[in-house]
Chains A and B, each alone.
Chain A
Amino acid sequence: MTPSEPLRIGVAVPRADAGPKTRGEPLFATDTVPAGALWAGVRRAGVVRARVAAVRTDRAAAVEGVVAVLTHRDVKGTNRQGVIRRDQPVLVGEVVRHAGDAVALVVATTPGALTRALSLVEADLESLPPLLDVESALSEGAPLLHPGHPGGNVLLEGTLTAGSGAAGAKECDATVELLFETPRQEHAYLETENGWAFETADGRVELTCSTQTPYRDRMEVAEALGLDPSRLRISAPYLGGGFGGKDGITVQTLLVLAALHAGGRPVRMRWGREESIVSGTKRHAARMSVRLGARADGTLQFASADLRLDKGPYDHLGGAVLELGMEHATGPYRVPHAVVTGKAVYTDNPIGGAFRGFGVTQVTAAVEQAVDLLANRLGIDRLEIRRRNALRRGDVTGTGFTLLCSVGLADCLDEVARHPLWTGREEWKSAAGPFKRRGAGLAALWHGAGYGPVVPDVANAKVELLPDGRFRVYCGVADMGQGNVSTNAQIAGALLGQPAGAVELVLPDTDRTLPSGSSAGSRTTYSFGQALDGAARLLRERIVARAADLWMARGVEEVALVPGAVRHLPTGRELPLSRLASAMGEPERVAVHRWRAPVAADGQRASEAIRLHGFPHRVFAFGVHLALVEVDELTGQLGVDRYLAVTDCGALVNPQLATQQVQGAVAQGLGLALSEELIVQGGRIETSSLRTYLVPTSVDVPEIETLFVPVHEETGPFGLKGVGEIAVNGPVPAVANALADACGIRLPRAPFTPERILAALRGRGNGEAR
Chain B
Amino acid sequence: MRLEFVLNDAPAALDVPPDRRVVDLLREELGLKGTKESCGAGDCGACTILVDGESRLSCLMLAAQLQGRAVTTVEGLSPDGSHPLQETFAAHGAVQCGYCTPGMLLAAADLLARDPDPDREAIREGLSGNLCRCTGYVKIVDAVAAASAATVGVPDQRKR
Residues on A close to B: CB < 8 A?
12, 14-15, 17-19, 21-28, 30-31, 35, 187-192, 238-243, 272-273, 480-483, 656-657, 659-660, 663-668, 689-691, 695, 697-699, 701, 703-704
Report B6-58 residues with CB < 8 Å from chain A CB: 28, 32-41, 43-44, 46
The majority secondary structure among interface residues of chain B is: loop
- Contact partner of A18 among B36, B44, B90, B138, CB < 8 A? B90
The distance in angstroms between the C-alpha atoms of A36 and B95, with both chains bound, is 31
Residues of A within 8 A of B131 (CB): 188, 190, 690, 695, 697
| A17 near B41: Cβ-Cβ < 8 Å | no
Give the interface segment out of B60-68, B100-108, B148-156. Answer: B100-108
27 contacts between A and B (CB under 8 A): A14-B91, A18-B93, A21-B95, A21-B101, A23-B81, A24-B32, A24-B35, A26-B33, A28-B99, A31-B33, A35-B28, A187-B133, A189-B97, A189-B99, A190-B46, A191-B36, A191-B97, A192-B38, A241-B97, A482-B96, A663-B136, A667-B133, A691-B43, A698-B123, A698-B130, A698-B137, A704-B136
The distance in angstroms between the C-alpha atoms of A666 and B123, with both chains bound, is 20
Q: Which of chain B's residues has its CB closest to A691's CB?
A: B43
Known: A24-B74, A698-B124, A699-B125. A667 touches B97 (CB 8 A): no
Q: Is B70 an interface position by the 8 A CB rule?
A: no
The distance in angstroms between the C-alpha atoms of A20 and B93, with both chains bound, is 13
Residues of B within 8 A of A30 (CB): 33, 37
- Which 3 A-B pairs give the minimum distances between C-beta atoms? A24-B34, A481-B97, A240-B99
The distance in angstroms between the C-alpha atoms of A21 and B28, with both chains bound, is 19
Residues of A within 8 A of B96 (CB): 481-483, 660, 664
| B139 near A660: Cβ-Cβ < 8 Å | yes
| B98 near A14: Cβ-Cβ < 8 Å | no
| A698 near B41: Cβ-Cβ < 8 Å | no
| B34 near A191: Cβ-Cβ < 8 Å | no
Distance in angstroms from B144 CB to nearest chain A CB is: 10
Residues of B within 8 A of A243 (CB): 133
Residues of B within 8 A of A691 (CB): 41, 43
Distance in angstroms from A13 CB to nearest chain B CB is: 10
The majority secondary structure among interface residues of chain A is: loop
Known: A21-B95, A660-B139, A704-B136. A272 touches B40 (CB 8 A): yes
Residues of A within 8 A of B139 (CB): 659-660, 663
The distance in angstroms between the C-alpha atoms of A408 and B105, with both chains bound, is 38
| A698 near B36: Cβ-Cβ < 8 Å | no
Residues of A within 8 A of B95 (CB): 15, 17-18, 21-22
Residues of B within 8 A of A664 (CB): 96, 133-136
Residues of A within 8 A of B38 (CB): 190-192, 240, 273
Residues of A within 8 A of B34 (CB): 23-25
Residues of B within 8 A of A698 (CB): 123-125, 127-128, 130, 132, 137, 140-141
Residues of B within 8 A of A15 (CB): 90, 93, 95
The distance in angstroms between the C-alpha atoms of A624 and B127, with both chains bound, is 29
| B41 near A690: Cβ-Cβ < 8 Å | yes
Distance in angstroms from A185 CB to nearest chain B CB is: 12
Known: A243-B133, A660-B93. A22 touches B86 (CB 8 A): yes
| B135 near A663: Cβ-Cβ < 8 Å | yes
Residues of A within 8 A of B138 (CB): 663, 701, 703-704
The distance in angstroms between the C-alpha atoms of A667 and B135, with both chains bound, is 8
